[in-house]
Chain A
Amino acid sequence: MNGITTHAGDAAPRDLPGEALWSDGVPARWLGRIGFAPALALQEGIRQAHAEIGDVLLLLEHDPVYTTGRGGRGEHLGALASSGPHAAPLERIGRGGDVTYHGPGQLVGYALVDLRRRGRDVHRFLRDLETGVIWTLSALGVRAVRWPGRTGVWVADPGASVTRMNDQDMQLGRIRKIASIGIAVRGGVSMHGFALNVAMDLAPFAAIVPCGLAGVRMTTVADESSRPVPPLRDVAALAARHLGQALVWKGSAATPLTEAIA
């Protein structure tokens, strides 16, 4: 479209909206700010035409919206405001995970990737998403970690133990959640992906029990980094580079070593 090649020798995905971002792995596109429904329709369209389009990572920013997965529990929805400053609609969608919030200042990444060519290991794909987000955060000056058993990306205070992360540290706010992850797999292709809080008002999260974790404190790149936070499009460019690479399938001989390096 704009002449930027995203895949060695490959043409950029055709007929997709938005701007191609540089990636030496899975091609990525920046869609800017877009409503939840049109983005979902776009995901569905790409998924159905995946055979022609191939893997793609959509990066975007949503208008305020609450979403919950099919496994989400009603009581975690809390009291969603239907009016007032934090009013936002609720969308029930087919993805894993509980309720969360999307809004301006948050980088959302939808990974439409063929898991049939990735060893079909759905947990591994979640780990790869985490890895890509962690790399992106590292480039933004935020050291983030995984919490085994608690999918997503977390930031821990120096005082909190990273190898023995625990609920108490979470309740005390010493471990905070900076990115949420939830996917669906339809016809062998993944949908949805991650939401990284970059520079945003966290107040809308207060209305819900994010991810179904009582007491979880959300945080943002702006709160965690001592450096100025670049505009969201530039953060998307970093994410394209790092997630593009993290989502590349590195072979089925998943020894612990290759997994660890991946």
Chain B
Amino acid sequence: MADVTMPRLSDTMEEGKILRWLKREGDRVEAGELLVEVETDKADMEVESSEAGVLKQVKLAEGETAPVGAVIAVIEAGDGESTGSTGNGRSESPPQPREGTAKPAAPPSTAKSGLAERPLAPGTAAPAPAVARPAAGAAPAARPAAPRNGGPKASPLARSLADDLGIDLGTVRGTGPAGRITRRDVEEVQRRASGGAAAPAGSAAPGRPGEASADHAASATQDSAAQAAGEAVAAGVRRISLSKMRASIAKRMAESKREAPHFYLTTVVDMDEAVRLRAQLKSLEVEPSVTYNHMVLKAVADALARFPEINARFAGDAIELLGEINVGIATAVDDGLLVPVLTSADRLDLLAIAAQARTLAEKAESGRFTAADLSGATFSVSNLGMFDVDSFSAVLNPPQAAILAVGSVKQRPVVRDGALAVGWTMSITLSCDHRVIDGARGGRFLADVKRRLENPASLLLPGGGHA
């Protein structure tokens, strides 16, 4: 017997829908023969069997959806022999790592994926694994596991959220297609469990780590104290249990303020030239479009290349200068913030930074970060300009030694040649860990960032022209 599992037809595929079974139960199936049509996203893929035998059981009906790795059918080896290898490297080691974690009890011989894509017909010289999609280990760690067999249908997001919150999916009523449990359903259960009545769906607009965690933490602690004492929660108080993300923000931000002696340096950048450059790029219809924040990221990356002592961290008995320049972009998400990372940002030109930042923003929106997207930042940029914040000071993101807080780009009164004028300006504030960076060094770095933004042609040069 071999389980046929929902094949992974794309690195970003999480689930697939059965469009049409091309074989019926009881039909004989040859390895390499077309078995099923699967829809993922807006693509309708023909998928062939990697097993030979009899289609014993169809477990997922036409029109139904299941996560990658879920069992969709069972094929019984036809002529008594154990379901043979098809000579296809991929069917030997199925690409679905999740199945393994989901059902540890299954004997290895049945854990085989019954499907190969059509291109890999048996007998075809299978291309080296380099061309095949990443092996189990390379799959994004953040992806939730496949459902246990027979468990309720739920979206991957709902599943991981339920895991985080310790909610049994069996107790959740699904409102998605075909009773599928969505993230909203899990949140609803959580909300009810925590005593909240008809609470608005979106929580408060997420802000910077410090502020956001402060006010959430306040209501949470006050409440848990009350509960612990067995007292009724005062009317009108809504208790919000900490999500994993909120708990992590609370812990790290508190640790940062406790451990790292912060100081702050602010300067105002004359943005007239940057505004002009952006308008020019826009009129040239340069894709991807470049924002002021992309310019800041580029200026920071170039300045870090020139001031390695800022791209550093405190390591107890030493200061470590970090080899790579990886700039984190503080990004607001539903219930907090994430800091996706531009890796080796100093080696990217402005358009590459714009393109990558956009991709990261899309991933933030869809919650599809891989571990690699979120790790390894050596410096961070937090921009609240879109909320019309003039200037602010950010809390360091340990173990990073500095973070730049960016305010809005606006027309403001400026003094030029001794006369009052109107110009585009932007305030930037550098928070520094005083164990690593002294005032003068921080000041020189900040002045360099400012100079690059005020002479934005340098942002278009490779390596910032080492200006």
- Give A contacts to B, CB under 8 Å: 69-71, 94-97, 115-116, 119-126, 134-135, 138-139, 141, 143, 146, 148-149, 151-152, 163-165, 181-188, 252, 254, 256-257, 259-261
Contacts and interface: CB of A to CB of B under 8 A. Distances in A.
Contacts of A97: 42, 44
B367 to A, nearest CB: 10
B43 A183 contact: yes
B37 A149 contact: no
A87 to B, nearest CB: 27
Given A120-B9, A123-B12, A148 B117 contact: no
A84 B372 CA distance: 56
The 4 closest A-B pairs by CB, nearest first: A123-B10, A116-B119, A260-B355, A188-B119
B346 interface: no
Given A71-B39, A120-B133, A148 B365 contact: yes
Given A122-B45, A188-B117, A134 B287 contact: yes
11 contacts: A95-B44, A96-B39, A96-B44, A120-B132, A152-B42, A164-B365, A183-B44, A185-B43, A187-B118, A256-B360, A260-B352
B231 interface: no
Interface string B1-37: 0000000011111000101100000000000000001
B43 A123 contact: yes
B266 interface: no
B40 interface: yes
B184 to A, nearest CB: 13
B373 interface: yes
Contacts of A163: 361-362, 364-365
B234 interface: no
B358 interface: yes
B222 interface: no
A11 B287 CA distance: 31
Given A70-B39, A146-B362, A259-B359, A184 B348 contact: no
**Interface residues of B toward A: which range?**
35 or more
B235 interface: no
Given A124-B11, A148-B365, A256 B41 contact: no
Interface string B334-365: 00000000010000100110011011111111
A254 B287 contact: no
Given A163-B361, A163-B364, 5 more contacts: A96-B39, A119-B133, A163-B362, A257-B343, A260-B359
Contact of B42 (A151, A257, A261): A151
B454 interface: no
Contacts of B37: 70, 94
Interface in B116-147: 117-119, 130-133
Nearest to B357: A260
Contacts of B117: 120, 188
A256 B11 CA distance: 12
B373 A256 contact: yes
Nearest to B355: A260
Nearest to B373: A256
A261 B357 CA distance: 11
Contacts of A123: 9-13, 40-41, 43
Contacts of B20: 70
B119 A261 contact: no
Contacts of A186: 46
A119 B9 CA distance: 10
A187 B13 CA distance: 20
B171 interface: no
B242 to A, nearest CB: 23
Nearest to B362: A148
Nearest to B62: A70
Nearest to A124: B10
B44 A69 contact: yes
Contacts of A260: 352, 355-356, 358-359
B10 A121 contact: yes
Nearest to A116: B119
A148 B366 contact: yes
Which interface residue of A95, A119, A149, A163 has the most chain B CB atoms within 10 A? A163
A185 B355 contact: no
B39 A122 contact: no
Given A123-B43, A126-B42, A185-B44, A257 B365 contact: no
Contacts of A148: 362-363, 365-366, 368
Nearest to A151: B42
A118 B405 CA distance: 41
Contacts of A120: 9, 117, 119, 132-133
B417 interface: no
B310 to A, nearest CB: 23
Nearest to B368: A148
Contacts of A259: 359
A70 B363 CA distance: 29
A261 B365 contact: no
A212 B357 CA distance: 31
B331 to A, nearest CB: 9
A223 to B, nearest CB: 18
Which interface residue of B63, B133, B362 has the most chain A CB atoms within 10 A? B362
A135 B10 CA distance: 23
Nearest to A183: B43
Nearest to A139: B285
Nearest to A135: B287
Contacts of B13: 122-123
Contact of A252 (B17, B46, B130): B130
A71 B41 CA distance: 10
A181 B41 CA distance: 10
A208 B28 CA distance: 40
B289 interface: yes
Contacts of A134: 287
Contacts of B361: 163
Contacts of A183: 42-44
B159 to A, nearest CB: 17
A256 B362 contact: no
B19 A70 contact: yes
A182 B287 CA distance: 24
A164 B42 CA distance: 21
Contacts of B373: 256
A94 B44 CA distance: 7
B309 to A, nearest CB: 27
A257 B348 CA distance: 9
A116 B131 CA distance: 9
A157 to B, nearest CB: 15
A233 to B, nearest CB: 22
